[in-house]
Structure 1
Amino acid sequence: MERLKSHRDFVAVLKRRRRVSREDIVVHYLMHDDVVTGDTATVQGRRVGLAVSKAVGNAVTRNAVKRRFRVLARKYESLLPESCDIVLRAKPSAARADFLSLEQQMASCFEAVKRKTASRQ
């Protein structure tokens, strides 16, 4: 799974306002076929970006949350559609959540994205 790196790509995903939310995680998603113009239309495969604000905690806490999110995204990426961009946004409560809880929420979110995108096609 590749990473979303540019601000432009993050904005494209967030602008569509398609999302799935759980207690500690919000997953914003964009299918590549939704994009008519721009560089994103030529991208193949899944890409993920992380958004962890200062509201989550200090730098050490934010980095720990990002590490957990990366591990879980890699583990459950097979649940996602083949060509999509995902932005994982951490709610402040994610800093206090245990790994098992985050794992269940991530799996649930990715399943929901899969269901929602499958129903559109």
Structure 2
Amino acid sequence: MTAPRHRISRRSDFSRTLRNGVRVSSRDLVVHASPVPTMWPDPRNVRSDVAMTGGPWLGLIVSKAVGPAVTRHAVARRLRAAFAETMQSCPSPETFVVVRAHRSAALRSSVELAEQLQGALTHPRLARLGDRP
């Protein structure tokens, strides 16, 4: 299971990753990844973000389209467990990863979701993410 310290919980981090990140799609998942911003401290010399080390960090988007609450929570648990197994595949340890589950993710096993997540994290587009300054 992914530890709480490895989870994205701030809306601004989700938005930044979805807007500026690299996107890779699979059959049941869409994975967005973005390097952690280096805007700390901000120009006014005020902390604009919490100093973060020890990533990568995971954010999940499992909408009501996936199913009722029990189904959504089951999919989220499977994705967190899959990320814990595959987080070493991230291009850089300082990476935000947001996973959006499609409706069909509810029908997949933990193993299938882990394979899709592993494939997305090792995709060549995300590999170039580690080369960014």
Give TM-score scaled by structure 2 length: 0.80
Q: Contact (CA 8 Å) 1:48, 1:88: kept in 2 or not?
A: yes
Higher helix share: 1
Structure 1 vs Structure 2 CA RMSD: 1.9
Partner of 2:81: 71
Name which of 113, 117, 126 aligns with 1:106: 117
Q: Distance in 2 between matches of 1:43 and 1:25?
A: 26
Q: Contact (CA 8 Å) 1:68, 1:99: kept in 2 or not?
A: yes
Name which of 20, 30, 40 aligns with 1:26: 30
Deviations 1:49-104 (A, max 9, x none): 11100000000000000000000000001111110101111011101112222121
Partner of 2:104: 93
Which sections of structure 2, spanning at least 5 residues, go unmatched? Answer: 43-47
Q: Contact (CA 8 Å) 1:79, 1:114: kept in 2 or not?
A: no
Partner of 2:14: 10
Amino acid aligned to 2:129: T
What is the aligned length? 119
Q: Does 1:46 align with 2:56?
A: yes
Q: Percent identity, aligned pairs only?
A: 33
Amino acid aligned to 1:116: R
Give TM-score scaled by structure 1 length: 0.87
Q: Is the deviation greater in 74-83 or in 99-108?
A: 99-108
Q: Distance in 2 between matches of 1:17 and 1:83?
A: 13
User: Residues 31 and 17 of structure 1: is their aligned pair in 2 closer, same or farther, counting only changes over 3 Å?
Assistant: closer
Amino acid aligned to 2:127: R
Partner of 2:45: none
Partner of 1:116: 128
Q: Distance in 2 between matches of 1:116 and 1:25?
A: 20
Greater Cα radius of gyration, structure 1 or 2: 2
Q: Contact (CA 8 Å) 2:62, 2:101: kept in 1 or not?
A: yes
Using the TM superposition, give the Cα deviation of residue 120 of structure 1 relative to its aligned residue in structure 2, in angstroms.
Answer: 4.4
